[in-house]
Structure 1
Amino acid sequence: MYIRQNSLFSFDTLMQYQPQTRLSMLFNELDAYPAIKELPAKSVRGPKGYSVAALLRAYVAKQVCGIPTVTKLVERLNTDLVFRYDCGFSTIGSVPSSATFSRFFNILSDNQALKPLFNHLIEQTDRLGIISGDVAAIDASAIVAYEKTVPKKNVIDDGSHANWGAKLDTNGNQHSWFGYKLHLAVDTASELPLAVTVTPASHNDVTQAIPLIDALSHQPKYYCLDSGYDTKETYEEIRRRSAQAIIPLNRRGEKLPPEGLDENRTPTCSMGYSMVYWGCDAKKGILKFRCPHVCEKVNCPNGSAWCSDSNYGLVVKKKVSEDSRSFCTPHRGTREWEKLYNERTSVERVFSRLKEHLGANLIRVRGIQKVTTHLLLCCIALIAGTLAVNRLKKQAA
């Protein structure tokens, strides 16, 4: 016969002497106050007395642990005391019901309470030097809706409902989906999101370029975007902020380049040869090009004297302000330009992490406000996790 003895310490006391879990380290970096202060006063105490901070942490934990639904989240809280303790709920008594979590999620969405928390985390990463801020990449990714698909003719195009979108993949094949688009501005060094917007799937990517740029508190030196953002307005807005757009040309059926320029917008000499890029003055926004014959890139039958009496050869200077789409510093097509543009792939890796590891593609809510809240939770989990890892590295050093 065995007699079970009472525990000398409570569960909460025992947890204080246990090694920190992954969630507890993440939550140490997550100050819920920026979100809580956005909520109505009657909601701060939490439904049925549950802590608002604990409810918010539970939603972040849901993304980190890959829990697909609120029902599964409640089950995890009921069966895993360590998980419950990390989220901040009492280990004695009941946990919030699915309905309680759903009501809290609606309150978060209606008040857009997660945006200040997201911005607060970005400020932390900037202050700690995790974000370099030199190069930002902007792109959009498809988010399939939880709503039932409807024919295009019945879509409500008011900016708040899901609709149909289409995009070409890297092989030129067109893919369509019913849902939304997640638009991100990403720091290419840390691969962390700096700004987030969500639109119905039919909205053109370029419509969100300027809103994302406006949302950045720290303006980078370069913006890397794909050819879908190749519009004069995008170049001018970025140049107005003393930054440079790194965007491939979208020729849109252009048969011939403008007169006096080649396909990369490099000036051509009188014989039609592309001139040689010879550096730039980024502060003044001036690019310098030299005679290709003098630079031994071509063997011009007329030599350099045809265009200039100088032994240095013909020199052409172009100002970015003349045509910010055609001319940029560094010049399009150069090794420096290609190196910067290759950093754009960082935004693709961020989309991959959000979808594969943080549940960005597991949408179980309807309407653009709630979808935005879900995706912000994914981004918050990513940034808070990065802050936790950074602190762990510093402690180990």
Structure 2
Amino acid sequence: MPTAKTALPSCLNVGILWGHGSIASTAAATVDALRAMNMLAAMRPGGAQPVVRWFWLRMPQERDAAPPPVPGADLGPEALDVVVIPGWLVPTGPQLREISQRYSQHFGAMLRGHLQRGGLVAALFNGSSLLAHCGLLARRNAALPWVFAPSIVLQSSESGAKTADVAEVIWQRERTWQRDGALWTTASLQDTLAAMLDLLAQTPAAELAQAASHALLFDPQRQLTATTAMETPTGHPLAAGALEQARRWLQDHRNEPYSLQATARAAATSPRTLLRWFAQVHGETPQDYLHRLRMAQAQALLQTTYLTVDDVAQQCGYNDTGSFRKVFTRVAGVTPGAYRQRFKLRTSRKQWLGRQGLPGDDGRV
């Protein structure tokens, strides 16, 4: 693979279990994350080939179960880097246990070997039932869907007894998704994307996963700073209170030179009192909060526009580009130029003409 400013990882192979009753939304959300990464990789120098491939892993007796209409192909499990269990749409715990038992007979040895080789596994929604039946959740922290949690915990306990492992799964009741070592589990369908992108951020394709998460996941600060001409998302004043008034002032005037005195006047308090209480409640000074707002705006502009670094600095309220670069590098860990190369979400202008799509959108090889 050709070398460029941003080196692309070797191809990552992702296997997705599929059969009768599999949940299509979690499988499709997984593929959407992988497609987004390939799209972003195609925008990088030397990114003509996809960096992620995905394949359907089906039960031999369920070949008639059609997977979602997204690109994919069969592949031997020995070549996989990630295995995804999308869960099953079933009404009761006993039915889930029956499915898990049946799938463990075919995929149990593969899953154990996959983890022993250092592979990663995402068990989405009640897909963690299969891990429990295979004895892979004992002593593990896991996020479980409440409606199936008792059945999954029981399965883990029973499987642990068979394998001389005395501890059952540790149900993290307040977590929407959980990582424990090489295992990712989720408690609901809407947590699929966040958990999958976090998993993919632990692979050689980490930078692409992080860039995709910037575009696909909700980020409150980016929502506020994405377009300088727009108000906050509601367009209405925030709740009363000196600190909220100060925070709203900083949001509305983030492109202007910072003034502690002006911020304190907006909050109807003294600068000294504002500094003390702002730090106590928010854990940072008003100026640090302003820098974070500006950096979120700068990151969005670097990812989605063709503005020069000087122009980005100006739009974010920095008259001195050198100062902007120092603050950006301190916050982001890289220079603005390196950040743009690593996380850009727009293709080059020359690709706009005569192109209907981008290479790398298809997972096939």
The answer to whether TM tops 0.5 is no
- Flag the structure with higher strand content: 1
Q: TM-score, normalised by structure 2?
A: 0.27
Q: Which is higher, the Rg of structure 1 or of structure 2?
A: 1
Structure with the bigger percentage of helix: 2
> Normalising by the residue count of structure 1, what TM-score does the alignment of the two structures yield?
0.25
